[in-house]
Chains A and B, each alone.
Chain A
Amino acid sequence: MNPAQPIERIQCQWCQGMNPKTALTCVACGAPLDIRNLVSESGWREAPRLRDMTEFQFSSSTCQVEGEIVPVAEIHLGANDSVFFEHHIMLWKDDNVPLTVLQLSGGLKRAFAGMPFIISVATGPGRIAFSRDATGELVVLPLHPGMELDVREHAFLLASHQIDYSFVRVKGLTNILFGGQGMYMDRFVTTGSPGLVLLHGYGNVFERKLKAGESIMVEPGAFLYKDSTVTMEVEFQRLGGLFGGANMSLAKMTGPGRIGIQSMYVHHHTE
């Protein structure tokens, strides 16, 4: 790369991907490139509002985003490409797209609404589409090799096969609304080649980059994702007052790294 040469490319400010100068949407994450970022004065950036029918690419596959209130991610899988996902979010698929079940290591047992928690895999070529069950936004997070992303349970829509998946149980990470039994956090790690993680955030989604040592207190139900470099500790706050007072637990997130939140506190609990 010669820095003296003018670079006829635009960098996407959401995923840092490079795009041809004529592109209107980012080829790697679908973010509009011709619209100013919406950044609040407190430093939160709104997740890019993906235009209806936007397309973007990962490995040899394409994803098209359809609808705006409860968006659908429609994947056109290339041959030998595959994506994995939670089985209850499939909307439709071509009948010749094979489904298999992802073998999870560690023998951890996890159940969702009384059903075994299963990660399914769809392999191309063919089309398959996904959506979650509420108003919200699709968050497209291309992962470069070496990146680690922590996502709150049942927030991920799908991930491409290049990504390693595991999960951890975080104790204490539920607020007074949900009884404080803890919740799972999915972890996505890329090792060899770049991959893609797609999340569904309930309501609106905001992202902020925390500097090293910078902290923010977040309602645990609003937590959506973070870089694994961001630490999270649960702080129990006693508010005082009548009847021994009300209490509240908040998650203290400390940088460096990205943190994403959603504005609606939907909580699908997994035992």
Chain B
Amino acid sequence: MFCTNCGSAVKDNANFCTACGSAMQHAPVQPAPEPPPAIAPTGVETKCPWCAAEIDASHLSCPRCGATLEAPPVQSASGWAELPGRKDMAKLQFGDSFCQIEGLYVPVADVNLAGSDSIYFTHHILLWKDPQVNITTMPLASGWKRVFAGLPLIMTQAHGPGHIAFSRDAPGEMIALPLQPGEEVDVREHLFMLATHNVAYDWFSSNVWYTTGSGDETETHYPVGMFMDRFSAPQAPGLLLLHAAGNVFVRELAPGQTILVKPTALIFKDPTVQMQLHFEHPRSGFTLWGNWTNRYYWLRLWGPGRVAIQSVFDRSEGENKYLKNCSAATEQHW
């Protein structure tokens, strides 16, 4: 350690500085964790505006999803709700384990796994772990399909007890989705971070595609990916963590209500929400260039159900190429 008066190096256990003689202050090596604020249960139940959990009104943030309960949800005039505010260091509980979400730009999920719990997570997101936390790859039934599609699908499992932390390498928001038994959610590929062991993982063909090119040179594009991930909690409640780039906006679509979104902006949707391609051809004086390349394309989502989008999304590929064929789609010419 170093003398706070003169800056000389001093032995760690010294009581006085050998250079200037001032008394050494021994700071605790490990900063003591802040004690959780004492909460007196009020007995009044309130509903978390984000995950609908019934919780005691004395909580400042939802213990299941981390949403702050001190500020009202923010909703745009058009009906998109922002992800509820989250206090830095917000703490969630699942099973006997806890997860703290730390940082605001590129948040970290710091999981304190109890001995009885385990989680599984995707590749390349492990930030740090205690040496004793064991990680193994998880066997996935019919994982072959995903590997053949060129997607490296490796799920890794971590077993408690101990701490393990995750983050993705892009500024954005961490989405905590607590799943109740019977609940299901569809997530666009590569947004998944981790889930508790009681969350079941499956996937299905997105069935949103189009081919471009001419003659024999055709290319197939999957604007929302070839597959969508589906997560559910068959028996016990579980927790799902996603990472979205930029800001996240959520809305509830009424039965039959539709909205057009950029395909790579989609984060998740309820399984009741249907999706298909939509082509839009703006009016142009240049008919010579052909109607086919002069177009925008969208993902049409229709209700009922919840959909979420992110504000940072990838440029779609093949947008300006000659369209040959596509999955079920709607069209609009102006």
Chain A contacts to B: CB under 8 angstroms: 1, 3, 11, 16-18, 36-46, 69, 135-137, 144-147, 176-177, 194, 202-204, 206, 209, 211, 215-219, 221-222, 237, 239-242, 245-246, 248, 250, 252, 256, 261-266
Contact = CB atoms under 8 A, between A and B. Distances in A.
B103 A41 contact: no
B107 A209 contact: no
Given A217-B131, A219-B128, A246-B154, A203 B103 contact: yes
A43 B33 contact: yes
A263 B7 CA distance: 31
Contact of B143 (A144, A242, A250): A242
Given A219-B127, A261-B128, A211 B137 contact: no
Contacts of A144: 2-3, 7-9
A39 to B, nearest CB: 5
B10 to A, nearest CB: 9
Contact of B100 (A40, A203, A265): A40
A137 B23 contact: no
Given A43-B30, A44-B102, A45-B31, A203 B167 contact: yes
A248 B158 CA distance: 14
Contacts of A40: 33, 89, 100, 102, 110
Interface residues of B, number: 56
Given A147-B9, A263-B103, A266-B169, 20 more contacts: A1-B22, A36-B34, A38-B102, A39-B33, A41-B98, A43-B30, A43-B31, A144-B2, A144-B7, A144-B9, A145-B8, A204-B106, A204-B108, A216-B131, A239-B154, A240-B136, A241-B136, A262-B106, A263-B106, A264-B168
B100 A42 contact: yes
B5 interface: yes
A215 B106 CA distance: 24
A222 B8 contact: no
B89 A239 contact: no
16 contacts: A39-B34, A41-B91, A43-B31, A46-B102, A135-B171, A145-B7, A146-B9, A216-B129, A216-B131, A219-B127, A222-B128, A262-B106, A263-B105, A263-B106, A264-B169, A264-B170
B59 interface: no
Contact of A256 (B12, B32, B138): B12
Nearest to B124: A177
